[in-house]
Amino acid sequence: MKNNPKLLLYILMLSTLGINTPLSIIGIISQISEYFHTTIAISGLYVSSFTFTIAVTGLFIPLLFSKFERKKTFVSILSVFAISNIVIIFTKSIYVASLFRILSAVVYPAFISIALTFCEEIAPIDQKQDYITKILLGISVGSIVGLPITTGLGTIFGYQVAMAWIFLINFLTLILILIFFPKVPGKSKSYEMPLSSIKSKEFILATIGIIMMPIGASIVYNYVPYFLQTVCHIYTYKLSIFLFAYGVISIFGTWLGGKLIFKKDKETLIIFQVVCASVFLALYLFTDYLIIVLVLILIFGVLDGMGYNLIQYIEASVLPDSPELANGVFLSVLNGGIAIGIAIGGFLVDGFGVMSIFIGGVIFLILAFALMLYVILVLKINLKYQIH
């Protein structure tokens, strides 16, 4: 390829960061409620509509876009984001804003899936997982770094300014792709749905097993701020600083996950569930010791960041001949698991108190461990980097 693969990689990394910033508006729910003159519950649905839509469309949208020329695909999707964000900034109707937020989410899986597939295609043979990890880092950084920026802008200047920042970063990446990206043909035809693969015992059990991981992590992650406030009595700027530190260390976790997957894939997939469950159990047992709690949460941050690589790797392994579908399923599993985890966590907090989130997380991670053990050691699925 005439173009520098590293340049294309970093443009796509920045682009995935940009289209993940809409996830960061979870920090300005109260400003959304105030701007649209609606309830917190309705504002929460507006925020979560993005994740729920991705969970559904990730299963088929990447396949529909796989045959199209890559540059046109990226430009078209980023244009949808830009136009949607303009409407979202200026509309006074939360229903119109929700419609355009959902429209962005519909095409989101195609961008991420094709970016992952394309970067693996252009990567040197010994750097394929490294290229994939950088795209996953873009996803991670977009939501993690975007959260304090969006929250800060929304809190100080209001909802419209926060949304304007999201528009600007998406528009910048659109310009970069227009200027620097080459024309890259898509597949000669769209992939047909590989029914034999998705009906296989290996795919079904691996996917059920791996979705338990984001469910378990999400039960805890999304209620950690509430836990720190109500149990550990950490508030205001101290809470913000600690959550930012959590976000930074989880970015390191995403990088570390890629390295471990490439070197020790089988061991990483199995041991991860045990380590994460042990951290949750320790958080439950050592609640009265603040320093221990903070250290454990930061360890969980590393594990949380690693999860992106593990989920993507499992799906790529069980669907080796359909990379766009595998990456689409990865997005559905990730976002569906997060949405389910949020719902379960809310039920646990309301019904049994905030400490129950750790037990809930442990239960789902034990299920994930059992299924991963079965599909890897009994069914012996062909892991992508496994040496036969």
Those residues with Cβ within 8 angstroms of residue 281's Cβ, 6 or more apart along the chain or in another chain: 358, 362
3-state secondary structure of 193: coil
* pLDDT recorded at residue 30: 77
pTM of the model: 0.81
* pLDDT recorded at residue 189: 55
Structure tokens at 260: 């471990």
User: Are 388 and 380 a contacting pair, CB within 8 Å?
Assistant: no
CB atoms within 10 A of CB 14: 17
Those residues with Cβ within 8 angstroms of residue 182's Cβ, 6 or more apart along the chain or in another chain: 1, 2, 3, 8, 71
Block mean pLDDT (10 aa), the chain, length 388: 80 90 79 88 83 87 87 95 95 95 94 90 87 88 76 84 92 93 73 66 90 93 84 80 85 91 89 96 95 95 91 89 84 88 86 93 96 90 66
Round to whole Å and give the CA distance between 170 and 153.
Answer: 17
Residue (of 252, 190, 12) closest to 112 by Cα position? 12
Round to whole Å and give the CA distance between 108 and 96.
Answer: 19
Separation in Å, CA 346 to CA 96, 213, 366: 27, 17, 20
Separation in Å, CA 360 to CA 74, 218, 331, 335: 39, 10, 23, 18
CA atoms 201, 53, 26, 76: torsion sign: positive
User: Are 111 and 5 a contacting pair, CB within 8 Å?
Assistant: no
Residue (of 109, 83, 79, 78) closest to 96 by Cα position? 83
* pLDDT recorded at residue 321: 78
The three state secondary structure string of 268-333 is: HHHHHHHHHHHHHHHHHHCCCCHHHHHHHHHHHHHHHHHHHHHHHHHHHHHCCCCHHHHHHHHHHH
User: Cα 209 to chain center, whole Å?
Assistant: 17
Residue positions counted in the chain: 388
3-state secondary structure of 252: helix
CB atoms within 10 A of CB 341: 27
3-state secondary structure of 262: helix
CA atoms 243, 94, 90, 157: torsion sign: negative
DSSP H helical segments within 264-289, as ranges?
265-285
* pLDDT recorded at residue 23: 80
* pLDDT recorded at residue 194: 61
